[in-house]
Structure 1
Amino acid sequence: MTDQRPDQRKPVILIAEDERSVAEGYELWLADQYEVRLVSDGQEALDAIDETVDVALLDRMMPQVSGRQVLREIREREMDCRVAMVTAVEPDFDVIEMGFDAYVTKPPERQELIETIEQLLDRASVDDALQEYHSLMARKGTLQTQKTELELAESEEYQELLDRIEMKREEVDEDLGDMDSEIDFVSAVREVDASDGDLETTELDGVDAFETEEEETDE
């Protein structure tokens, strides 16, 4: 059970997922610990995002407005909520320019999802520089689980990411103290064989969810 927050309210989790059975499965997992709000597409997510939302779980591939576009809008609005992408889209080097805080590959396990949310809630009170450092580390960790060492070494984008991390580490060094270990994001430790158009069967505590990723752009 999640410890009660200082303001004595349940954290608010916004779930943006166009597969209803999947969204309801997540809700079953989370409703005892959090206030869960469900939306079924990106436009509804943009309408629902406000200062009361603590964590947003976004599918990348959604009708009307993609999860990537929703994420971009959240960052442009400078909102305080943390964002985890929960998606069947395998991460590529394009994630380097996405400002997510965690990347969870479908189908997640219940404990993985809860631990990811708890990590993001725990980081909610840190300053902007440290938030950015965590976000950069999340992108690095996500790629490390999907790419070979050779692919990473040959990628100019990845090398630039490492440079950005080092610069940000120096900026927040006083806050980090002697912490030399990298942030362990639960969202970046599981590899799932998923691709656009594949049919997946996800068992969510008794809820069988069949989800098909549509051929939609998430630009």
Structure 2
Amino acid sequence: MTDRPTVLVVEDDRDLADLYAAWLDGDHAVRTANSAEEALERFDDEVDVVLLDRRLPESSGDDVLAELRGIGSDVQIAMVSAVDPDFDIIEMGFDAYLVKPVARDDLTDLVSRLLARRLYTVEVREYFSLAAKRAALEAQKDADQLADNEEYQRLLADIEALEGELDEELGNLDDEDVAAVFRSLREHGDE
């Protein structure tokens, strides 16, 4: 057992998996897997963050994601893939989405943000997940495509509803609690 957070890198390109592992190794315990089967074998309760490629041999990263969520795991999962996000991501249970190629700073910053989010309430983590989907789609689709897509419009409505709930929760906190929330956000450098 280690006191460093554990990151599972799931990437079929062994050289790329090794590169990501090298980038993260100093501050994290890193495991790598090169297939969906291997990912599920190497996943356990000690894993804090999963970096998951969508294209894997035999089974997709989407299937691994569904299986991890299906067993009730609330581990932080980032899709790190060359697959440009499309509207299908709205229904997926990931927490962040990065399109390859990925720079070292982007990857290490992402892992830091995901680790910080573990401390947040379920509602705040859900908000960040929805916001990540909105950002990924807005980076890939033009305004007309977004405006014409019903799923995207529901995503925006879900984000707005969740923002309302979070605003109400913040309204129920006293000044000391609010200051602690913002201090925590600033310390963790979250978005």
TM-score if structure 2 supplies the norm length?
Answer: 0.85
Contact 1:141 1:185 in 2 (8 A): no
Give the match's secondary structure for 1:38.
strand
Counting only pairs closer than 5 Å after superposition, residues 190-205 of structure 1 correspond to structure 2 as none
Name which of 156, 161, 172 aligns with 1:167.
161
The structure 2 residue matched to 1:79, chosen from 62, 73, 77, is 73
Tell me which of 105, 109, 112 is aligned to 2:106. 112
Pairing 1:24–2:18 present: yes
Count of matched residue positions in the alignment of Structure 1 and Structure 2: 175
The Cα offsets for residues 93-128 of structure 1, whole Å up to 9 and x where unpaired, read as 111111111101111000000000001001001121
In structure 2, the CA distance between the partners of 1:52 and 1:133, relative to structure 1 (3 Å rule), is same
- Read off the aligned partner of 1:68 and give its amino acid letter: D
CA distance in 2, matches of 1:38, 1:131: 25
The structure with higher relative contact order (CA 8 Å, sep 6+) is: 1
Distance 2:190 2:53 in 1: 18
Q: Percent identity?
A: 44
- Paired letter, 1:80: D
Cα distance per residue 1:64-86 (max 9 Å; x no partner): 22111111111122213100001
TM-score (norm 1): 0.75
Listed as ranges, the gaps of 5+ residues in structure 1 are 1-7, 187-219
Structure 1 residues 164 and 53: CA distance shift in structure 2, 3 A:
same
Q: Distance in 2 between matches of 1:59 and 1:145?
A: 19
**Would you say the 8 A contact 1:138–1:185 is kept in 2?**
no
Residue 176 of structure 1: how far off its partner (Å): 5.3
Q: 1:102 & 1:36 partners in 2: Cα distance?
A: 19
